[in-house]
């Protein structure tokens, strides 16, 4: 191996190792930490964050990169790198230059403001007091506009933010994907919310330790190595990948609805399988890292909805539910249960939205962020704008801002550009599902038999092991043979719900 590249690998591994410590701290805070641990935790997190920033912008990294690639011309100054090494060098150069564009005082200012804003947002949401949050939102939007200028953009100031989470994606491309998606989803919501579905069968009393047992077994059935992960409980489920061999998942146990815990465990399992599937030879390098947040979300959505809300999966898995909860579920048929978990019903809260309406919640947030960035929407106009659009897209209006524009933490945390990746995840997942259906004509039979490993193997080969080798769009195109469109997702929904109607 080229000596300079060997040095680059060492530096990359050192950065990723410190980042893994940051992830353990986050996991500990959400699961195990006693309440008063927050004081030292805040200091730990800020200390680690500054070490990571120093490492990512160090002179040593710059010098090493420059001995491999010319920063100005983006051409290689050494001739003994293979294609993967070239790709890694190029991406690390891009990451380095991007990190350098944000001065330390800007990073500090943003960290302080988003921490204060999050604190105020929690209170404002609790008290339904948008006015209290407004000055912070205004300052955050100002800083986000500054960030656009510091990073630079060709077409739209929002592009600089989207690129943070979805490399290569732009406001223009997202608008082209989301415009037909929105039109079709508004129509499908109207069509399918009238399907008469009784979902009271999902509610009752369900022993929490039995729920946990079911979830733990399912994660292993889907292909997570028992020695690579653990599942705990937290208020909001998440998957924190410390390393591909150390995956921390959580689920939320609801004693009156076991389905929530199963569904969130399957979602987080999709994220964990992606991380577990990263190529072991590329730890510390971009090819050993996830391609984008949209691709990450496509893995969780694929498992949660396309598999975990399918009739074939439940035909195989339902007997285990009947065995665990015979008193509560024996009178509920498989078909009734399947219909209940797939009920389409417009709701105010994004995180509880069903498969058909979910992306409309995201498109609303995408349009708002875009308008904030180009100045066509002012922060103070947000509550009214929100209500108007909710009526237009979902036919419902929130009674207050806590159930409306104050519901998500993202803007308080300055996570602009993140929301679109949730809807992209659905579109990517539908493309992958379509390709898997073609490769495995016996897909349903396999799911009915509890055979799931072939899914992990296929996704591993086509998505997981490539990391950032390709852009997200190219990755999907290579895996499926076609470009991402909204129509594949819409066709998937139509096929599923037309069949559900006649069950
Ligand atoms: Zn997710």
Residue 46: pLDDT band with limits 50, 70, 90: confident
Instruction: Measure 428 CA to ligand 1 centroid, in angstroms.
Output: 13
Instruction: Measure 502 CA to ligand 1 centroid, in angstroms.
Output: 31
Whole-angstrom Cα distance, residue 40 to residue 24?
A: 14
Share of residues in the chain with pLDDT > 90 (%): 94
Instruction: Measure 299 CA to ligand 1 centroid, in angstroms.
Output: 8
Phi-psi region of 228 (alpha: psi -120 to 50; beta: other; left: phi over 0): alpha
Contact 430, 492 (CB under 8 A): yes
> What per-residue confidence (pLDDT) applies to 324?
97
Q: What Å distances lie between residue 37 and 21, 25, 420, 463, CA to CA?
A: 17, 11, 34, 38
What sign does the CA torsion over 131, 137, 141, 143 have? positive
Residue 111 has pLDDT above 90, yes or no: no
Share of residues in the chain with pLDDT > 70 (%): 100
> What per-residue confidence (pLDDT) applies to 42?
83
> What per-residue confidence (pLDDT) applies to 265?
98
> What per-residue confidence (pLDDT) applies to 279?
97
Q: Which tens digit of pLDDT belongs to each residue from 361-389?
A: 999 999 999 999 999 999 999 999 999 99
314 Cβ contact list (under 8 Å, min separation 6):
334, 337, 338, 341
Long-range contact set of residues 112-121: C-beta below 8 Å, sequence gap at least 24: 113/139, 113/140, 113/143, 113/414, 114/140, 114/412, 114/413, 114/414, 117/412, 117/413, 117/414, 118/409, 118/412, 118/413, 120/412, 121/406, 121/409, 121/411, 121/412
> What per-residue confidence (pLDDT) applies to 235?
84
Q: Which tens digit of pLDDT belongs to each residue from 298-343?
A: 999 999 999 999 999 999 999 999 999 999 999 999 999 999 999 9
Which member of 268, 304, 355, 367 is catalytic? Answer: 268
Q: How many CB atoms lie within 10 A of CB 105?
A: 8
Global pTM value: 0.96
Residue 115: pLDDT band with limits 50, 70, 90: confident
Q: Which tens digit of pLDDT belongs to each residue from 247-262?
A: 999 999 999 999 999 9
Instruction: Measure 81 CA to ligand 1 centroid, in angstroms.
Output: 35
* H-only helix segments in 154-289: 159-165, 171-192, 208-222, 258-276
Torsion angle of C-alpha atoms 249, 252, 258, 263, degrees rounded to 10: -50
> What per-residue confidence (pLDDT) applies to 112?
87
Task: Compute the radius of gyration of the chain from its Cα atoms.
Answer: 23
Instruction: Measure 40 CA to ligand 1 centroid, in angstroms.
Output: 28
> What per-residue confidence (pLDDT) applies to 470?
98
Residue 199: pLDDT band with limits 50, 70, 90: very high
Instruction: Measure 59 CA to ligand 1 centroid, in angstroms.
Output: 35
Instruction: Measure 297 CA to ligand 1 centroid, in angstroms.
Output: 5
Q: Which tens digit of pLDDT belongs to each residue from 30-45?
A: 899 998 998 898 889 8
Contact 241, 23 (CB under 8 A): yes
Residue 268: active-site member: yes
């Amino acid at each position: 191996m080229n000596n300079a590249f060997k040095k680059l690998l060492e530096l990359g591994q050192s950065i990723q190792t410190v980042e893994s410590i940051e992830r353990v701290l986050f996991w500990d805070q959400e699961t195990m930490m006693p309440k008063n641990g927050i004081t030292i935790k805040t200091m730990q997190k800020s200390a680690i964050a500054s070490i990571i920033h120093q490492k990512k912008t160090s002179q040593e990294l710059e010098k090493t990169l420059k001995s491999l690639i010319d920063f100005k011309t983006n051409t290689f100054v050494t001739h003994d790198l293979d294609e993967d090494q070239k790709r890694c060098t190029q991406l690390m150069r891009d990451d380095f230059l991007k990190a350098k564009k944000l001065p330390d005082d800007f990073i500090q200012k943003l960290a302080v403001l988003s921490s204060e804003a999050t604190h105020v947002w929690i209170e404002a949401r609790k008290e339904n007091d948008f006015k209290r949050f407004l000055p912070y939102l205004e300052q955050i939007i100002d800083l986000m506009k500054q960030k656009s200028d510091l990073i630079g953009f060709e077409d739209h100031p929002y592009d600089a933010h989207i690129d943070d989470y979805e490399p290569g994606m732009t406001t223009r491309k997202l608008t082209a994907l989301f415009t037909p998606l929105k039109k079709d989803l508004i129509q499908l919501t109207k069509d399918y919310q009238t399907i008469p579905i009784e979902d009271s069968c999902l509610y009752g009393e369900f022993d929490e330790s039995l729920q946990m047992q079911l979830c733990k077994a399912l994660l292993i059935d889907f292909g997570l190595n028992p020695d690579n992960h653990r599942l705990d409980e937290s208020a909001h489920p998440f998957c924190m990948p410390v390393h591909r061999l150390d995956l921390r998942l959580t689920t939320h146990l609801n004693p009156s609805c076991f389905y929530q815990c199963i569904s969130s465990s399957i979602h987080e399992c999709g994220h964990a399988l992606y991380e577990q599937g990263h190529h072991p030879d590329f730890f510390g390098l971009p090819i050993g890292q996830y391609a984008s947040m949209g691709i990450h979300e496509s893995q969780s959505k694929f498992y949660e909805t396309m598999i975990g809300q399918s009739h074939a999966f439940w035909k195989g898995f339902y007997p285990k539910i009947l065995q665990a909860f015979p008193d509560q579920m024996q009178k509920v048929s498989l078909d009734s249960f399947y219909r209940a978990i797939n009920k389409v019903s417009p709701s105010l809260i994004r995180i509880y939205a069903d498969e058909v309406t979910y992306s409309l919640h995201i498109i609303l947030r995408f349009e708002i962020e875009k308008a904030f960035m180009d100045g066509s929407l002012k922060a103070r106009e947000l509550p009214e704008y929100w209500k108007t659009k909710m009526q237009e897209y979902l036919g419902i209006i929130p009674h207050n801002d806590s159930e409306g524009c104050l519901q998500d933490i993202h803007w308080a945390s300055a996570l602009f550009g993140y929301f679109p990746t949730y809807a992209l995840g659905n579109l990517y997942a539908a493309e992958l599902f379509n390709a898997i259906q073609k490769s495995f004509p016996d897909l349903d039979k396999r799911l009915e038999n509890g055979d799931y490993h072939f899914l992990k193997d296929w996704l591993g080969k086509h998505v997981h092991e490539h990391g950032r080798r390709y852009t997200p769009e190219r990755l999907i195109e290579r895996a499926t043979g076609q470009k991402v469109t909204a129509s594949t997702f819409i066709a998937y929904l139509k096929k599923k719900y037309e069949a559900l109607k006649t069950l």
